Amino acid sequence: MPDSSAPIGVFDSGVGGLSVLQALRRALPQAQFVYVADSAHAPYGEKTAAFVQERSHAIARFLHERHGIAALVVACNTATAAAAESLRQAWADMPLVGVEPAIKPAARLSRTGHIGVMATRGTVGSARFARLLHDFGQGAHWHVRACDGLASAIENSTAASLLEDEKIRALCAHHTSALGQFGTEAGQIDTLVLGCTHYVFVRDTLQALLGPKVQLVDTGAAVARQTQRLLGWAPAASAAGGDALAPVAQIQLLTTGSLNALQMAAQRWLGLPLQCCAQVQVP
């Protein structure tokens, strides 16, 4: 069993993976976390698979060598698609959890059988995504959209209110309109998969655009439960209570990009103080 005193490493191309980190804090309130936002190279979704794989391995090495992590959570759909398998081969003894679009849960939830997927170009163009649709998407109509520019806009908007950010609202409206008609009538899209961890932070904007009856599905809670299972820490987490969060003292947030941007995101979305954040170089 992994060392319970060692931190869990979490990384994303930027601040989007903080949505997964928050779910992990709820599921594992006794755990320590080291989060890396590779914001100097964000967004991954518009980079080549080879580049994303190289960066993923560099960050995994950094977390393993500098922080002695007990497990690694790849809190990025694009990085999971490009690098999860090679990461598992490189660190075969370390538990690894990736994130991928919630195709199977969405197929169960939909009543009209029409499901939208918003993700990055790197995710929707991957072999891993194609396998997900083949394995779990049979019998449904999938409306898939590569949402160019949205993750980057969210990454760059940490100093302003997302609900008031007109660029993000316009991008959300543009991409959802391109998917088709949303609603609960026959032939309408009644379920939307948020296939990028950044998109969780514009959930309210998307819900306002699509209406309260459209179901939005992300994978943060499922990733947290899988991490809990792999580490075998479920009893301790349950004893701590469902509303508990890993204490601030157990959270370290690192960025390869703007320290101020990470601090603003941590404050707004996780309620964490500036002191949790630091800037690092990951060769």
Give catalytic residue positions: 76, 196
Q: Are strands 71-74 and 33-37 parallel, antiparallel or unpaired?
A: unpaired
Cα–Cα dist 255/280, whole Å: 6
Cα–Cα dist 248/245, whole Å: 9
Cα–Cα dist 99/74, whole Å: 7
Cα–Cα dist 103/193, whole Å: 7
CB 266 within 8 A of CB 251: no
Cα–Cα dist 237/61, whole Å: 28
CB 189 within 8 A of CB 115: yes
Among candidate residues 10, 70, 16, 14, the one with its CA nearest the CA of residue 40: 14
Tokens standing for residue 156: 């760059």
Residue spans of alpha helices (H) in 232-278: 234-240, 259-265
**How far lies 8's CA from each of 14, 65, 75, 187, in Å?**
17, 13, 12, 43
Cα–Cα dist 12/72, whole Å: 11
Q: Is 151 left (phi over 0), alpha (psi -120 to 50) or beta?
A: alpha
